[in-house]
Amino acid sequence: MRRATFKNNWIAAIVVAPQLLIIFVFFYWPTSQAMYWAFTFEQPWGGGNEWAGFENFNRILTDGRYWASIRVSVVYAAGATALSMGMALILAVFADRQLRGYRYYRIGAIWPYAVAAPAVGLAFRFIFNPSAGIMSYINAAYPGFWDPVLNGDHALAMVIIAGAWKQIAYNFIFFLAGLQSIPRSLIEAGAMDGANVLRRMRDIQLPLLAPTFFFVLVINITDSFTDSFGIVDTMTAGGPARATNLMVYKIYVDGFQGLDYSGAAAQSIILMFLVVALTVVQFRYIERRVHYT
Amino acid sequence: MKTTFISLAVIAAVIGGAAQAQDKIKFEYWYGLGGYLGDVVTQTCDRFNASQSTYEIVCVGQDGYATAVQNTIAAFRAGKHPTVVQAYDAGTADLMMSGEFYPVQKMMADFNIDIDWSNYFPGIANYYASSKGELISMPFNSSTPVMYYNVDDFAAAGITEVPQTWEAFEEALKALEAAQPEKCNYGYAPSTWVDLEQFSMSHNIPVASKNNGYDGLDAEYVYNTTQHVKYMEDVKRWLDAGLIEIKTSQGGINSRDAFAQNQCSVYFGSIASHATVHASAVEGLNWDVAMLPIYEGFERTNTVVGGASLWVLSGKSEDEYRGAAEYLKFLATPESEEFWSTNTGYIPVTKTGYDALVAKGFYDNAPYKGREVAIKSLTYTDPTPLTRGIRLGGFIQARAEWVAEVEAALAGKKTMQEALNTAVERSNQVLRRFERTYANKTLP
């Protein structure tokens, strides 16, 4: 393969400098600050701080609430990712089959991604409202069937559905693009050999979709760990009884509301390593099964 | 992530600062109240600017008490903080420990502005005063909780006397349930402010040791050993018996709106909601307010203030301080107090402000009738060592611990006693962390 090379490295440096600067200012610098705070007792108003060693980490890792928060985050990530990728794949397959009106339907399926997370949260809060929303009809028939105000499992399910709904659009775009890049001739050849729709999907489309699938999986899992704040904040505020207290939300509550800067910084560092580790695992073990063409 | 926000705040502050022209002496004031109440704050600023020509106050809404404090901290760390900030009651200990403020009583003395500090209601002033009794922040929007009740529903249920005790309150709930099986009797929302803090104040029982933290950072929560447990167990029992219903915004409608919409017959909340309930009540809703009930066998004591006070921050010029002092002086005039109390549900903070309103017959007729109950509750007794207020670090977190555990108990996952024990244990960890962060420092 040919590689483009610059004879003069200075030009290359100048060209990439703005980008590097942005990454430094908005990523490395805050991360290093968080790192520093995590190892000190930082006073919120900046009136001096004291070296803490691993005391902040110790405090967090021996705290049952933190482990509960990790558990909830993992359930949320798994649930939201599976649900949104599954739904997106089904929708994309239908759009790809060019059923009647698929153009409008395609635009409609992309839209939700443009909706801000708090707005999604508010909309779903109404839908799942046990006494006034759509679920109230089911509650009227079966009293006590749906109670996200006190029942933590219901609340978590509600947050997962809202989070998944928002993510479906994004996944849909990638799945549709992936499906449309599969050569028609392959599918037509399969059809001529007598393979039905499901068979063609299983043997031709899904294997060829694997790289897209893998990419979407990584993005979704990362996203559900780091970007679930808006929905939790508007729908449940972490409750009831911390049943939806995702790691990002806990960082916000401890750091911004509780002014525990050091504890929140330590949690951010742990979350960062967790997401990095998950991504590494995915690349190491799942990517092996993916064949790029 | 945090520092990203801080750096964004810095950029915003720099851009904002550059746009300022230099005619009058300008100073900034960040307030947390939002919505309608925020508009009234802006009006006080306009009134101040119109009243004199030397200073110009620039009022910036932060949409929420918590955000106001968070943004101020971020700006402070960048050296771009406002001169005056409105900070909520529960953040008092956190701000006091920062040390980055100009005590208002000292500031007023430094600028030779004469204010009669004894004129402030003790239930309000003590909350914001140092251990030596010096006022550190200026009491501003002040409220205290009361019981809102539906007069017609009470009459229909044959309740002739408004319950003064929780025992009578339970009887009232039963009577309501019998008279109106379909309607929600009492829309309950777990609230530390009402259920724990003010409940403890009115019963003269401690929330935490060391006189609720006033006497030192080594205080510990003790509410799992007081009458508070009995009260929360009663709440749980009422919920299980179907006498009360949970009404929170997460469930679609909060307890105040459920009351105003005539869904529920009783609501416990801030007197500041008085104006809102009036404005949003359904046609013909006949309602009134009363003091919080107390348990039999207890002597009623005063409740304390809730709401927010105004803090003057350090690191500003003398001109800006002079402006801030003039603004605080302006707010303390009876005219300003009347403007503020009339347009919001908040109560006047000085005795003369209150007396002036009483003399004008302010409280005699709707829509203001009933608001004097809050003053009565606040001044019911002189503050005892246990009813001065709460002076506990990281109190916002402690409130969250209480709510999370009470929710677990209400959902039947544990007993109320277990829940409160856990909440106390975890809130104590918050206190220990706070003590550790401010090692070798003491409360002013």
* A12-22: pLDDT as tens digits: 888 899 999 99
Task: Say if B385 falls within a structural domain.
Answer: no
Note the pLDDT tens digit of each residue in A219-261.
999 889 888 888 898 888 887 888 899 999 999 988 888 888 8
Q: Are strands B145-150 and B264-270 parallel, antiparallel or unpaired?
A: antiparallel
Between the two ends of chain A, the Cα-to-Cα distance in Å is: 16
Do residue B100 and residue A45 have CB atoms under 8 angstroms apart? yes
Nearest to B411 among A41, A240, A263 (CB): A240
Instruction: Give the closest-approach CA distance of A261 to chain B in angstroms.
Output: 9
Report the distance separating Cα B329 and Cα B318, nearest Å. 16
Q: Which amino acid is at B240?
A: D
Write phi, then psi, for B46 (nearest 5 degrees).
Answer: -60, -40
Q: Which amino acid is at A96?
A: D
* A260 neighbourhood in chain B, CB within 8 Å: 394, 397, 430, 433
* A44 neighbourhood in chain B, CB within 8 Å: 73, 94, 98
Task: Say if B73 falls within a structural domain.
Answer: yes
B149: pLDDT strictly greater than 50:
yes
In Å, how far from its chain's centre is CA B225? Answer: 25
pLDDT at B243: 95
A38: pLDDT strictly greater than 60:
yes
Nearest to A131 among B1, B252, B410 (CB): B252
Q: Do B210 and B246 fall into the same domain?
A: yes
Nearest to A105 by CA among A90, A95, A97, A114: A95
In Å, how far from its chain's centre is CA B390? Answer: 11
Report the distance separating Cα B349 and Cα A252, nearest Å. 34
A162: pLDDT strictly greater than 70:
yes
B333: pLDDT strictly greater than 60:
yes
Per-residue pLDDT band at B9 (split at 50, 70, 90): low
Per-residue pLDDT band at A5 (split at 50, 70, 90): low
Total domains in chain B come to 2
B10 and A CB contact within 8 Å = no
Taking residue A286's Cβ as centre, other Cβ atoms within 10 Å add up to 14
How far from A113 is each of A76, A170, A180, B225, B311, CA to CA, in Å?
Answer: 19, 6, 20, 51, 42
Please give the residue of chain A at the shortest CA–CA distance from B81.
Answer: A45
Q: Do B296 and B315 fall into the same domain?
A: no
Per-residue pLDDT band at A42 (split at 50, 70, 90): confident
pLDDT at A11: 84
For B279, how many CA atoms within 13 A lie in the half-sphere containing its CB? 10
Q: B378, B406, B427 — which closes off a domain?
A: B378
Question: Does ipTM top 0.90?
Answer: no
Note the pLDDT tens digit of each residue in A57-82.
998 999 888 999 999 999 999 999 99
Task: Say if B389 falls within a structural domain.
Answer: no
Q: Do B333 and B221 fall into the same domain?
A: no
How far from B335 is each of B114, B345, B372, CA to CA, in Å?
Answer: 17, 16, 18
Per-residue pLDDT band at A123 (split at 50, 70, 90): confident
B58: left (phi over 0), alpha (psi -120 to 50) or beta: beta
Task: Decide which of B399 and A142 is more confident.
Answer: B399
B74 and A CB contact within 8 Å = no
Q: What is the mean pLDDT of chain A?
A: 86
- A254 touches A263 (CB < 8 A): yes
- Can you spell out the DSSP letters for B362-426? GGGSTTTTTTHHHHHHHTSSPPPTTSS----TTHHHHHHHHHHHHHHHHTTSS-HHHHHHHHHHH
B415 and A CB contact within 8 Å = no
B406: pLDDT strictly greater than 90:
yes
Burial of B15 (0-12, 13-18, 19+ CB in 10 A): exposed
Q: Do B34 and B81 fall into the same domain?
A: yes
For A243, how many CA atoms within 13 A lie in the half-sphere containing its CB? 23
**3-state secondary structure (DSSP) of residue B36:** helix
pLDDT at B259: 95
Residue with token string 């309150």:
B169
Q: Do B44 and B155 fall into the same domain?
A: no
Q: Do B118 and B163 fall into the same domain?
A: no
Please give the residue of chain A at the shortest CA–CA distance from B419.
Answer: A241
Domain residues for the domain of B151 are: 145-303+394-437
Per-residue pLDDT band at B21 (split at 50, 70, 90): very low
Task: Say if B442 falls within a structural domain.
Answer: no
Burial of A4 (0-12, 13-18, 19+ CB in 10 A): exposed
Best mutation target among B1, B81, B217, B244 (most A Cβ atoms within 10 Å) is: B1
pLDDT at B1: 47
B12: pLDDT strictly greater than 70:
no
Q: B378, B410, B427 — which closes off a domain?
A: B378
Write phi, then psi, for B315 (nearest 5 degrees).
Answer: 80, 25
Least confident piece of the model among B320-324, B381-385, B436-440 = B436-440
Q: B333, B349, B378 — which closes off a domain?
A: B378
B292: pLDDT strictly greater than 60:
yes
* B residues 209-248 closer than 8 Å to A (CB): 246, 248
Q: What is the arithmetic mean of pLDDT over B8-13?
A: 53
pLDDT at B8: 53
Please give the residue of chain A at the shortest CA–CA distance from B411.
Answer: A150
Taking residue B79's Cβ as centre, other Cβ atoms within 10 Å add up to 9
Do residue B4 and residue A30 have CB atoms under 8 angstroms apart? yes
Burial of A6 (0-12, 13-18, 19+ CB in 10 A): exposed
B184: pLDDT strictly greater than 90:
yes
Task: Say if B111 falls within a structural domain.
Answer: yes
Report the distance separating Cα B81 and Cα B260, nearest Å. 39
Q: What is the arithmetic mean of pLDDT over A165-174?
A: 90
B77: pLDDT strictly greater than 50:
yes
CA dihedral of B40, B42, B45, B49, whole degrees rounded to 10 = -120
How far from B406 is each of A99, A248, B90, B96, B394, CA to CA, in Å?
Answer: 53, 23, 19, 29, 19
Per-residue pLDDT band at B31 (split at 50, 70, 90): very high
pLDDT at B313: 93
pLDDT at B267: 96
* B413 neighbourhood in chain A, CB within 8 Å: 241
CA dihedral of B262, B265, B267, B271, whole degrees rounded to 10 = 70
Task: Say if B433 falls within a structural domain.
Answer: yes
Q: Count interface pairs A-B at CB distance under 8 A.
A: 120
B282 and A CB contact within 8 Å = no
Report the distance separating Cα A42 and Cα A52, nearest Å. 9
Best mutation target among A40, A45, A65 (most B Cβ atoms within 10 Å) is: A45
Structure tokens at B26: 């300008």
Q: Do B168 and B214 fall into the same domain?
A: yes
Per-residue pLDDT band at B192 (split at 50, 70, 90): very high
Best mutation target among A58, A131, A233 (most B Cβ atoms within 10 Å) is: A131
* B438 neighbourhood in chain A, CB within 8 Å: 43
Report the distance separating Cα A167 and Cα A151, nearest Å. 25
* B2 neighbourhood in chain A, CB within 8 Å: 30, 33-34, 255-256, 261, 264-265, 268
Report the distance separating Cα B331 and Cα B322, nearest Å. 14
Q: Do B77 and B18 fall into the same domain?
A: yes
pLDDT at B11: 54
Nearest to B44 by CA among B27, B29, B62: B29
Q: Do B151 and B136 fall into the same domain?
A: no
Note the pLDDT tens digit of each residue in B94-148.
889 888 899 999 999 999 988 888 888 888 888 898 888 889 999 999 999 999 9
pLDDT at A195: 87
CATH of residue B351: 3.40.190.10
Do residue B76 and residue A45 have CB atoms under 8 angstroms apart? yes
Q: Do B280 and B315 fall into the same domain?
A: no
Please give the residue of chain B at the shortest CA–CA distance from A133.
Answer: B252
Do residue B1 and residue A268 have CB atoms under 8 angstroms apart? yes
Instruction: Give the closest-approach CA distance of A250 to chain B in angstroms.
Output: 11
- B315 touches B100 (CB < 8 A): yes
pLDDT at A206: 87
A4: pLDDT strictly greater than 80:
no
In Å, how far from its chain's centre is CA B30? Answer: 18
* A258 neighbourhood in chain B, CB within 8 Å: 394, 396-397, 400, 430
pLDDT at A82: 95
pLDDT at B15: 52
Please give the residue of chain B at the shortest CA–CA distance from A147.
Answer: B251
Instruction: Please tell me whether the peptide bond between B190 and the residue prior to it is cis, using omega within 30 degrees of 0.
Output: no
pLDDT at B20: 47
Nearest to A257 among B396, B407, B408 (CB): B396
* A265 neighbourhood in chain B, CB within 8 Å: 2
Task: Say if B67 falls within a structural domain.
Answer: yes
Domains of chain A: 74-289 (1.10.3720.10)
Q: What is the arithmetic mean of pLDDT over B278-306?
A: 93
Residue with token string 């409202």:
A129
pLDDT at B19: 46
Least confident piece of the model among B6-15, B75-84, B220-229, B387-396 = B6-15
Report the distance separating Cα B122 and Cα A204, nearest Å. 79
pLDDT at B198: 96
Q: What is the arithmetic mean of pLDDT over A127-149?
A: 80
Q: Do B199 and B213 fall into the same domain?
A: yes
Report the distance separating Cα A176 and Cα A172, nearest Å. 6
What is the model's pTM? 0.84
Instruction: Give the closest-approach CA distance of A75 to chain B in angstroms.
Output: 20
Q: Do B285 and B340 fall into the same domain?
A: no
pLDDT at B3: 52
- B174 touches B196 (CB < 8 A): no
B208 DSSP 8-state letter: B
Q: What is the arithmetic mean of pLDDT over B162-189?
A: 94
Nearest to B341 by CA among B152, B139, B112, B134: B139
